[in-house]
Amino acid sequence: MLRTCDRRTAVGRRDYAVILILLRLGLRACEVAALRLEDVDWRAGQITVRGKGQRLDLLPLPSEVGAAIAAYLRHARPRTDRREVFLTIAAPRTGLARGGVSLIVRRGCVRAGLTPCGARRLRHTLACDMVRAGVPLHEVGQVLRHRDGTSTSIYARVDANQLRTVARAWPERTAR
């Protein structure tokens, strides 16, 4: 999906940065939409995320994500007084809404030949990748900023295909 973003265009740079944030940081669509220019602390390498219930979280800004945001801000973001990081392409220029973030993901899926999905699927993908890599559930919950462990417990479901690779065959019944 990332490879289908044409980073030679303003739309491609914006879409690449949005998709990368979702994939690497596990943000919700509304959190990406709420990002403001002052939320990115370039010197400290941190990003402030405005989450559910007016919650503010400081997250490390991976260099790959920072580079994508910087490329969008320098070369693609329209000049405006708006403080939102990500803006609509068409006038009047406004900050992207949650639905606009999910639409970016859906369009990326279509370009990549994948079944269309919304931004939430990328958050889910990050969590599943972490579980597959052996990251403990409480750490997955920390990355996703879940307040309660039960929210993270959905990622504890057994992957039947992966289980088949380690399960022993059932012993054949012996003839009497």
Structure confidence by residue, pLDDT tens digits, 4-57: 999 999 999 999 999 999 999 989 999 999 999 999 999 999 999 987 778 888
Of the pLDDT bands very low, low, confident and very high (cuts 50, 70, 90), residue 139 is confident
| Residue 161 pLDDT greater than 70, yes or no | no
Among all chains, which residue has been given the structure tokens 């405005």?
50
Q: Is 105 domain-assigned? A: yes
CATH number of the domain to which 67 belongs: 1.10.443.10
Q: What angle do CA 41, 44, 45 make, to 5 degrees?
A: 75
* Domain that residue 93 falls in: 2-115
Instruction: Kindly report the length of the chain.
Output: 176
Mean pLDDT on 129-150? 80
Q: Is 156 domain-assigned? A: no
Q: Is 82 domain-assigned? A: yes
Number of C-alpha atoms within 13 angstroms, CB side, residue 86?
A: 27
Is residue 99 helix, strand or coil?
helix
Task: Report the number of distinct structural domains present in the chain.
Answer: 1
pTM of the model: 0.83
Q: Is 16 domain-assigned? A: yes
pLDDT value of position 69: 98
| Residue 155 pLDDT greater than 80, yes or no | no
pLDDT above 90 coverage of the chain, percent: 60
Q: Is 148 domain-assigned? A: no
